Amino acid sequence: MLVPLEQILQRARQNRYAVGAFNIYNLEGVLAVIQSAEALGSPVIIQLLPSALELGGTPLIQLCLEAGDKAQVPVAIHLDHCPSQKMIQAALAAGISSVMADGSGLEYAGNLAFTKNIVQEAVLYSAGVEGELGRLSGSEDGLTVAAAAAKMTQPEEAADFVKQTGICALAVCIGNIHGHYKTEPRLDFKRLAAIAAAVSVPLVLHGTSGLPDEMIVRAIAHGVCKFNVNTEIRTAYTHSLSRLFVGGNLPELVDVMRDGIAAMQGPIQSKIRLFGSTNKA
């Protein structure tokens, strides 16, 4: 069943667990996420990156919406990391229930103004908006941000940002990165605790792939209710393709799709269990 992002996150916040937000690119990804969530009785968030939306367009959104509507568990459909107001407007008009207004590349005042504007637009569609304060390093969706350009979320700015923009969730930067961690991850939990104390909305952590389990559990205890997962699922999918086509083998396309779905379900179900959302549907 389709439900708003805010409803999923508020329930997770109240009951001290988190929900996985899984980036998908095609039918196989949608089925892998929903089947995994149904198998474990978990709410789930299906996310589209701008690059996937540029390629798939409105039909990709409609695929997600119909699959989510028929699911036996709560499903939210979310546009991830979008800095384009034009694309956000098109996604909202197509029926997507929430968007991430990504103004993280702007200075504070610019980010605040951009995000506030998107919230005002989303209200017209009864949709929710996730904002981001700070900036993550790493690579995602074809964009690479150097470590030197990363910016930590400032707790003293977080309350003002949430209040002025009206967002329903806040993505924080506490040492997490996009993509693979090349060194041992170090998250600033003191900063996370201060942010959680300063704001009244659920917190989001991007760059979950590669974080040790104990860090995930600790982040949930500090108020994180949504974890974005991309790299591990995408890697499982592409590895399944490479295995099937080794040595010039040309398998049946439906077999390729089935294998891809099965390959993605492993890391998806593992994350759902780790986040504590099993049987929370």
* Residue from 80, 102, 141, 255 carrying the catalytic annotation: 80
- Cα separation, 164 vs 174, in Å, equals 22
- Token pair of 210, please? 């590669």
From 228, 156, 218, 227, select the one nearest 189 (Cα to Cα).
Answer: 218
> Looking at the chain, how many residues does it have?
281
Handedness of CA 258, 264, 266, 270 (dihedral sign): negative
Phi, then psi, of 130 in degrees rounded to 5: -100, 135
99 beta partners: 79, 129
Q: Which residue has the tokens 């200075």?
A: 107
- Token pair of 229, please? 């997962």
CB within 8 Å of 251: residues ≥ 6 apart: 244, 245
CB within 8 Å of 206: residues ≥ 6 apart: 81, 132, 136, 171, 176, 178, 228
Q: Which residue has the tokens 């039918």?
A: 27
Let me know if 69 is a catalytic residue.
no
Which residues are annotated as catalytic? 80
